[in-house]
Amino acid sequence: AGSGKFFVGGNWKCNGTKDSISKLISDLNSAKLESDVDVVVAPPFLYIDQVKSSLTDRIEISAQNCWTGKGGAFTGEISAEQLKDLGCKWVILGHSERRHIIGENDEFIGKKAAYALSQNMGVIACIGELLEERESGKTFDVCFQQLKAFADALPSWDDVVIAYEPVWAIGTGKVATPEQAQEVHAAVRDWLSKNVSAEVASKTRIIYGGSVNGGNSSDLAKKEDIDGFLVGGASLKGPEFATIINSVT
Ligand code: PEP
């Protein structure tokens, strides 16, 4: 972990019911969490209100997506203003499932991120390469292109956390090795320093996502440029998510 405050997000994706979420909240409320870690959970939109009203204030709430601008005639969408109204402080944008399953592109994602920041929400900006891109030596190119789209769209990086999530590691049980993750995190930091500023490079937290669990998080957390995690599957289990949060070194 670097010098910034460790950041751990739990992305619940499209999972949960009122009952299962109530059990998860009670596990999280009773978990003992390291104080020096920012902790965020991202429930499905429908359950944000339930989570906000029963989860400890120690944990902040994120959405998993939002609209590109102010609300209005956009059937099925949710605006940043509405998310803030429910007490949501963060939004995950550019997640690989939205890029590759839903088909969101860099420009669309950049717009969403800029609008969310303009509404004083924090953005968890996700980037990451597909397996075939890694195998053909394009990991850095792909990550830098996705980063550039964020950089082009964003007026500031103050409330942005970058999540490096290799697509081949998400939900597959195939975690990147600490060395593989560190290599990309260092390259992302270097890109920020050359293309944004040295200050943004040193203060922006870069978190890793992709099959993080209670057994592999502490080795990953030891790496210099890994400033936290974005956790999918393992964030649905309260005690394991707490172990990951507490793996900060
Ligand atoms: C994610 O969805 O951001 C993620 C990293 O999922 P998992 O931890 O299940 O691989």
3-state secondary structure of 8: strand
Phi, psi of 38 (to 5 degrees): -80, 130
Of 95, 133, 185, 240, the catalytic one is: 95
CA distances from 219 to 50, 133, 199 (A): 34, 25, 27
- Threshold 0.90, pTM exceeds: yes
Cα 197 to averaged position of ligand 1 atoms, centre (Å): 29
pLDDT tens string, the chain, 249 residues long: the values are 777 899 999 999 999 999 999 999 999 999 999 999 999 999 999 999 999 999 999 999 999 999 999 999 999 999 999 999 999 999 999 999 999 999 999 999 999 999 999 999 999 999 999 999 999 999 999 999 999 999 999 999 999 999 999 999 999 999 999 999 999 999 999 999 999 999 999 999 999 999 999 999 999 999 999 999 999 999 999 999 999 999 986
Q: Is 210 in the pocket of ligand 1 (CB under 6 A)?
A: yes
The CA R_g of the chain, rounded to the nearest whole Å, is 17
Closest Cα to residue 31, out of 249, 240, 248?
A: 240
Decide: residue 181, CB within 10 A, 0-12 exposed, 13-18 middle, 19+ buried: buried
Structure tokens at 114: 């800029």
Of 60, 104, 129, 165, the catalytic one is: 165
For residues 19-49, one letter each, b for 16 or more C-beta atoms within 10 angstroms of the residue's C-beta and e for the rest, the string is: eebeebbeebeebebeeebbbbbbbebebbe
